[in-house]
Structure 1
Amino acid sequence: MKSSPVLSGLMGVCVGDALGVPVEFHSRSQCRLHPVKGMSGYGTYNQPPGTWSDDSSLTFCLAHSLCDGYDLNAIARSFCEWRYEAAWAPYGEVFDIGGTTRMAIHRLKRGVPPVEAGGTDDNSNGNGSLMRILPLVYYYRTLPFSELIGRVHDCSCLTHGHPRSQMACGIYISIAIGLLRGLDPKTAYIQGVEAVKPIYSKPPFEAELKTFERVFGGQIETLPEKAIASSGYVLHTLEASLWCLLTTDSYAEAVLKAVNLGGDTDTTGAVTGGLAGIYYGFEAIPSEWVEAIARRSVIVALAERLEAALELS
């Protein structure tokens, strides 16, 4: 398979997701007793090995829409096609969807404007926008940074409109930009958080700065494992993904560490996998894991289309 920055990111997300699907909701202690060591199946959702969840489906929906340019209404339609017609589902069935995302897509279906569809209350800060936001990073060469982060915020709002969720997505994309530029993970992390600080030092984001204190502190990798949570809360997922990337030395190590934290294993794996895929490259993803992925040829074709559309080749 041809390697590219787009394929590295998309497959990085999907493989991390698929590794976590069979053990979603397993506790950390369960994962210690029976750690995930490779691609498996028939666990939590009784799906075959290589099955990806809503994390990858919505990532692919976004990537598919971007092949025709950036259009929030088109992205919203793509999300609805996944939810109601199982487009970009691995086996023609939607088997995993978060409550906040479900309600937001229902609002999109009813015609609510995309930037108004996502929940904005404090309890609407699950990781459902962070898990799918990666494809927007590939605009980094053609858009001013502030405009790109603005698009990231708007795209988050399709399902998650609270400033905290928008910020998590913006920080993630800012760090991913550094990785695409060839920076090592630690440098990409430091420069990434510094780049977005001016944006997040103003309303409506400044009130959330304290929430992201550990991330902005630039030392997330020094925390012990017991200080890293792996629930479906967006801040936990962002912190865990950065911690896993910064405390490992390969794609496989990073995503296995993420999945074996337990809890929301598919999303922690997917979010970590997106960054690790970009940094280490497609070739670094174990081939036996890639070969197990459902509809992998379709994912490769999608990456090629997006790369051509963004003129990255």
Structure 2
Amino acid sequence: MALCLANSLIARRHFNPYDQLVRYKWWYKNGYMTSTGRCFDIGENTSQSFDEFQRRQESLAKDHQIPLEQLDFLSDYHLLANFNVDCSKIGAAGNGALMRLAPVPLFFHKWPIHAVEFSGRSGQITHGDPKAYDACRYYGALIVATLRGESKEQLLDNEFYVKHKPWFNGKRLHTDIEAIAKGAYKQRQGYDGGIRGNGYIVNTLQAALWAFWADENNFEKGVLAAVNLGDDTDTTAAIYGQLAGVYYGFKKLPENWRDQVYAKDFIKCV
């Protein structure tokens, strides 16, 4: 899904949630941009959102007499402006909103306010809980700060949110996310200290940041720490990898891991 999001940003040259949902639907239904040719793992909240998006597309086609085969390629500004892209159920707070995030702050990092807001919106279209929106905003801000040269100490500063408050454009973080921003993830005992990498976005955000905090400045150690928490291991590691990958850089990733990455040439080009 991260590749779908990156493709959308490049193709549309801006943040276009309708186009993002189209590409996610292709991934879900047809295996677009997958490593296996099919979608083999998708959360309930995410799949429900894509099914709802398709229902809304079909309703749009009926109301405006649009051929179904044209629905994925709409360019009419007024039609798209009136299309409700928030396809999530109320209260959906799964971690799928966060695991695909990185292309947004990468694309908009020169404009932090836009980067942070669009990070939140990128998650909100499939996960409607305010905690999902704010988890994505906060993590997007961390990635932007990394790209702008801030040190690891600055990124993990318990006052990071306060010091970057203008980036959040007057919208306060949910208290659960603000607690993480203030350092709730800094648990030396890790799993025994209550860190959990499960499907709930608040817990996964905390777990990914714990892995970054505890990785001894080594990407491989951080990934293994994230995975060894158990539960939703691939998602926790993927979320860790977005921030840590930007911070450590391509050359510091294990070479044997880099060689196995799907679409690595495309990613390098992007």
Tell me, yes or no, if structure 1 residue 86 matches structure 2 residue 21: no
Whole-Å separation in 1 of the counterparts to 2:156 and 2:108: 16
1:136 matched residue in structure 2: 104
Tell me, yes or no, if structure 1 residue 217 matches structure 2 residue 185: no
Look up the equivalent residue of 2:224 and give its one-letter code. L
Aligned mate of 2:85, from 106, 110, 115: 115
Whole-Å separation in 2 of the counterparts to 1:289 and 1:80: 28
Aligned residues: 238
Change (3 A) 1:212 1:84: same
The CA RMSD over aligned residues, in Å, is: 2.1
Tell me, yes or no, if structure 1 residue 237 matches structure 2 residue 204: yes
1:177 matched residue in structure 2: 144
2:228 matched residue in structure 1: 260
Alignment deviations for residues 48-68 of structure 1 (CA, whole Å, 9 cap, x no partner): xxxxxxxxxx11110111112
Aligned mate of 1:159, from 126, 140, 148: 126
Change (3 A) 1:139 1:76: same
Whole-Å separation in 2 of the counterparts to 1:163 and 1:222: 25
Change (3 A) 1:220 1:189: same
TM-score calculated relative to the size of structure 1: 0.70
Larger radius of gyration: 2
**Kept after mapping to 2: 8 A contact 1:116/1:158:** yes
Look up the equivalent residue of 1:259 and give its one-letter code. V
**Kept after mapping to 1: 8 A contact 2:184/2:206:** no
Look up the equivalent residue of 2:100 and give its one-letter code. R
TM-score calculated relative to the size of structure 2: 0.81
SS at match of 1:231: coil
Whole-Å separation in 2 of the counterparts to 1:224 and 1:62: 35
2:6 matched residue in structure 1: 63
1:18 matched residue in structure 2: none
Whole-Å separation in 1 of the counterparts to 2:152 and 2:93: 26
1:49 matched residue in structure 2: none
Superposed structure 1 runs of 4+ greater than 6 Å apart: none
Q: CA deviation at 1:251?
A: 0.7
Change (3 A) 1:141 1:93: closer
Whole-Å separation in 2 of the counterparts to 1:229 and 1:89: 27
Q: Which runs of 5+ in 1 are unaligned?
A: 1-57, 307-313
Whole-Å separation in 2 of the counterparts to 1:114 and 1:275: 30
**Kept after mapping to 2: 8 A contact 1:230/1:264:** yes
| Aligned 1:244-283 pairs, distance under 5 A | 244-248=211-215, 249-283=217-251
**Kept after mapping to 1: 8 A contact 2:93/2:132:** yes
More displaced stretch, 186-195 vs 249-258 = 186-195
Whole-Å separation in 1 of the counterparts to 2:226 and 2:214: 11
Q: CA deviation at 1:88?
A: 1.0
Whole-Å separation in 1 of the counterparts to 2:48 and 2:236: 22
Aligned mate of 2:258, from 290, 297, 300: 290
**Kept after mapping to 1: 8 A contact 2:94/2:200:** yes
Alignment deviations for residues 195-242 of structure 1 (CA, whole Å, 9 cap, x no partner): 24884874xx66x31x23531323632453122111110001110111
Alignment deviations for residues 76-107 of structure 1 (CA, whole Å, 9 cap, x no partner): 11101101111011111211000000000111
Q: Which runs of 5+ in 2 are unaligned?
A: 58-82
